[in-house]
Homo-oligomer: A and B are copies of this chain.
Amino acid sequence: MAPSQYSVANGEVRIDDEFWSPWIDRNRSVTVEYQYDQLEASGTLDNFRRVIDGKEGGFRGMWFQDSDAYKWLEAASYELAKADDPDLRERVDDVIDLVAGAQADDGYLNTYFQLVEPGKKWTNLHMLHELYCAGHLIEAAVAHYEATGEKSLLDVATAFADHVDDVFPDEVDGVPGHEEIELALVRLYRVTDEERYLDLAQYFVDRRGHDDRLAWELDRLEEIGGGEYDSDDWEGSIHEGSRTVFLDDDGEYDGSYAQAHAPVREQDAVAGHSVRAMYLYAAVTDLVAERGDEDLRGALDRLWSNMTARQMYVTGGIGPEHEHEGFTEDYDLPNESAYAETCAAIGSIFWNQRMAELTTESKYADLIERTLYNGFLAGVGLDGKHFFYVNPLASEGDHHRKGWFTCACCPPNAARLFASLGQYLYTTDDDELYVNQYVGSTLSTTVGDTDVELEQTSDLPWEGTVTIDVDADGSVPVNVRIPEWCDDATVAVDGEEVDHGGSGYLRLEREWDGERIELEFAQRTDVVAAHPAVEADAGRVAVERGPLVYAAEAVDNDRPLHQYAVPTEPDVTATHEPDSLNGVTALETDATVPSLDGWGDELYRSAAEADTEDDRLELIPYYAWDNREPGEMQVWHRADDA
């Protein structure tokens, strides 16, 4: 069974969008370049060179350092798919040469194990990330092949995948602690048509949750000297941190950290390290799309419902807990101490895109939109050089983006998402076209046998006007998504208004010969409350406008932010400020603050005597916070129903 829809390939889309293009351009000119420089500076490429030169030891970086090279290759390949760039192509080829050169004769490739512990391969699946790195190699190879048609990296990836296929499960029967290879193997299957890669992905998914292998590893890790987990020591001793992160407070193995607490098909609630969870669920979605496993499909629906109804920030961010970088329990969504890793938001986009491909439900594209504009985008500074690993929804002003991280997963992950954003805009199935995201762009693709050309303009997120000019060889239904945030949408085709049923896909079927679809999504400021069970947001509201979640920052407001209370139906002024924060529409809402009159030396006094006075609260898009003077920030404001 094939998926209901497919993502349109990155190379078939050209983005030209007032909002997104500057981000994508900065990603190309700043992040991808910086990331490349980091491959040298961090020793990542030297690790490959040392293997090629037959040296021992001298490994630099984290034990999954290879994946940085692969993520860069993937991002760079997406760039090459959009436009040739000889300089970039040359560097890509050079890095591929290093990667290929380091590959062992049997296909094995992992510079940490090759340099440091050649005798210990496949002995610590759960923390030492050989399969995780393999997955990123495969993803890079597929992207490179799709971009260039060249097999230089694809051959390396298939050789390694074949080696993994030899080893698992006959020699080693276990699953990676950090999922990634599963979704990569499906991608590899889709470009090679080799069913064994799909079978291997299925094996890794099905085997998860049977923990005899892990017990064996825990014993073995004792032999090879796994220490107590101490994140401060990660840089100094790679094996530290590899053993007890799986253990709960009682020192017992639980497995939920790696989604291994139960077989995937029995799981009901998202759990554990949130990036791992997202990569797993993305792979499972691919498998369901390919093979139609109803049990797994049921699990996906349960997991998605649990995440979105009980374990997700209003920004689309997920995983509140720092210690395990992941999920905790239903409705546990603290704001200031939120983890909400940037990579987890990216992972959620990966999963939801696959759910959108699998189904014809618009809610997945709705969630991608929310996550893109908020939980993901906040992770990247306006300069393209600084990144949040952690995305709190409130701050005392002491949380700032950094240039790079010891565990540098987020910046390269952001880079590959920006570089491939085109593939998140449209999906097709055998007969129809779906417009999922409103980003100015052109599309040249084929739906069934019909060539389709499409040109979209959009002034989202600031306004809600979208035009889509469609040309096709024949009759192709075009499904346009009316966003969940819009309750006042008008749709016209060729100047004639079309009835619609509100949010969801609106199917427009006709012969297309340059007709224009005009969409008008009224941008309303919405004040939202969280479910009553969410303690952190009790009595609080968040302000949204269109797809954007807004935040208050100290720099725009005179009072400490805790003093503002916002009505649930406020009077809001939206002002586009082209010179502020690279251009944003800022909001100003009426609010009340405590009157300071009448407060003398009392620290406490009768509440009935404590007056409030009218004030205004200024808000900026959440993604834009921490780009000016440091200070308090909050997304959830006290509600004032007076």
Contacts and interface: CB of A to CB of B under 8 A. Distances in A.
Interface of A: 305, 308-310, 312, 314, 526-535, 538-539, 541-542, 560, 562-563, 565, 568-569, 593-594, 596, 599, 601-608, 610, 638-642
Contacts of A602: 309, 531
Choose among A312, A526, A529, A604 the residue with the greatest number of B CB atoms under 10 Å from its CB: A604
Given A308-B603, A531-B599, A538-B563, 7 more contacts: A314-B604, A526-B606, A531-B603, A534-B603, A607-B639, A641-B641, A641-B642
Contacts of A569: 608
A638 B532 contact: no
Nearest to A370: B604
A219 B596 CA distance: 49
A638 B539 contact: yes
A315 to B, nearest CB: 10
A88 to B, nearest CB: 41
Contacts of A607: 527-529, 541, 568, 639
Contact of A532 (B305, B534, B599): B599
Given A641-B641, A642-B642, A604 B542 contact: yes
A637 B305 CA distance: 32
B532 A596 contact: yes
A568 B608 contact: yes
A593 B533 CA distance: 11
Contact of A538 (B312, B562, B605, B606): B562
A402 to B, nearest CB: 19
Contacts of A562: 535, 538-539
Closest 7 CB pairs of A and B: A532-B594, A568-B607, A529-B607, A538-B562, A535-B562, A641-B642, A529-B610
A535 B610 CA distance: 15
Q: Which of A568, A602, A610 has the most CB of B within 10 A?
A: A610
B528 A604 contact: yes
Contact of A560 (B305, B535, B599, B605): B535
A314 B604 CA distance: 7
Contact of A608 (B308, B310, B527, B610): B527
Contacts of A541: 607
A527 B606 contact: yes
A604 B563 contact: no
B638 A604 contact: no
A535 B563 CA distance: 8
Instruction: Please indicate which of the listed interface residues A529, A535, A599 has the most CB atoms of chain B within 10 Å of its own CB.
Output: A529
A598 to B, nearest CB: 10
Contacts of A599: 531-532
A261 to B, nearest CB: 23
B532 A563 contact: yes
B638 A538 contact: yes
28 contacts: A305-B601, A308-B603, A309-B601, A314-B604, A526-B606, A527-B606, A527-B607, A528-B604, A529-B604, A529-B606, A529-B607, A529-B610, A530-B603, A531-B603, A531-B604, A532-B593, A532-B594, A533-B560, A535-B560, A538-B563, A538-B638, A539-B638, A542-B604, A568-B607, A568-B608, A568-B610, A640-B641, A641-B642
A583 to B, nearest CB: 27
Contacts of A605: 528-529
B312 A603 contact: yes
A605 B641 CA distance: 16
